[in-house]
Amino acid sequence: MNSRSKKPGNSRQVDGHVARKRFGQNFLTDESVIRGIVTAFGPVPGQNVVEIGPGLGALTRELLAALGRLQVVEVDRDLAAALPLRLLNEGELVVHQADALKFDFRTLARGPHDLRIIGNLPYNISTPILFHLLAQADAIADMTFMLQKEVVERMTAAPGCGDYGRLSVMLQVRCEVEWLLDVPPEAFSPPPKVDSAVVRLRPHATPRYNCVDEKRLQHLLTSAFNMRRKTLRNALKGQGSPEQIEAAGIDLGLRPEEVDVATWVRLSNLLGPEGHHE
């Protein structure tokens, strides 16, 4: 597992491998944290589990012991080549040397909602990877990730909270999002300059919200949260007439961060192409 280190001087050798800044490599080394993540994840033999960014294999070893078979996606060619040797005779390990941002995870699924995905995502590209995976959510049962703590705060935030915003809504439309545990910097080598946390996302097997156009929703959220201190009456100017919005029972006196997920979806559907006013 690897995460992002913010300072260029943080590269160092870990277990014979030089952590590479361009891949955002900070290796998880704390055994109690590793056990905590595996326990929270709950692997069961026979499940189709994929680990993103196995790194030096600290978590991989524990997952293999629990599962017997594991697939991993690793962008670093040196690590991908070395991992089977590190974990020789510890289980069936299938290594895909590839960039997770471009990888088609559907090719690994045996059927709908089959994949369980786990990993420590490089913090500088964590959000793009999340949305890349959500585009393939029909193949995924759940995802458990180590991320920068402030990102997890935004992912799990509820309406009325300062961390609640576009990311909160877009993820919660598609998934149940659960904060599992915190991880301090000293659990890694080299230690990152930020706190981390582990979060689980379970894509809804059947849509919880009837969102007609997610791109339209994302555009609406971006516009509104760029003016998060303003009321909806001002933040949604040009998005539709106030009468149209109020007729749907939506309070234009609310600020964007006070609007719940269901209402954002309702607004997006209401102000779709047919209701959009420039």
Instruction: Give residue limits of the domains in the chain.
Output: 8-203, 214-270
DSSP H helices, 179-229, are: 214-225
Which candidate, 217, 53, 209, 196, places its Cα nearest to that of 129? Answer: 53
The pLDDT value recorded for residue 25 is: 57
What phi and psi values does residue 182 have, to the nearest 5 degrees?
Answer: -95, 150
pLDDT confidence of residue 10 = 40
pLDDT of the residue at 231: 95
pLDDT of residue 8: 38
User: What pLDDT was estimated at residue 261?
Assistant: 97
pLDDT, residue 248, reads 82
What pLDDT score was predicted for residue 122? 84
Which SS3 state, helix, strand or coil, does residue 155 take?
A: helix
Segment holding 97, helix H or strand E: strand 92-97
Residue 198: beta bridge partners? 146, 181
Which stretches in the chain have pLDDT values below 50? Answer: 3-14, 16-24, 274-278
Q: What is the three-class DSSP state of 185?
A: helix
Overall fold of domain 8-203: Rossmann fold (3.40.50)
User: Are 56 and 13 spatial neighbours (Cβ–Cβ below 8 Å)?
Assistant: no
8 Å CB contact between 123 and 4: yes
Q: What percent of the chain has pLDDT over 70?
A: 89
- CATH code of the region 214-270: 1.10.8.100
> Which pLDDT belongs to residue 272?
75
Q: Supply the pLDDT for residue 240.
A: 80
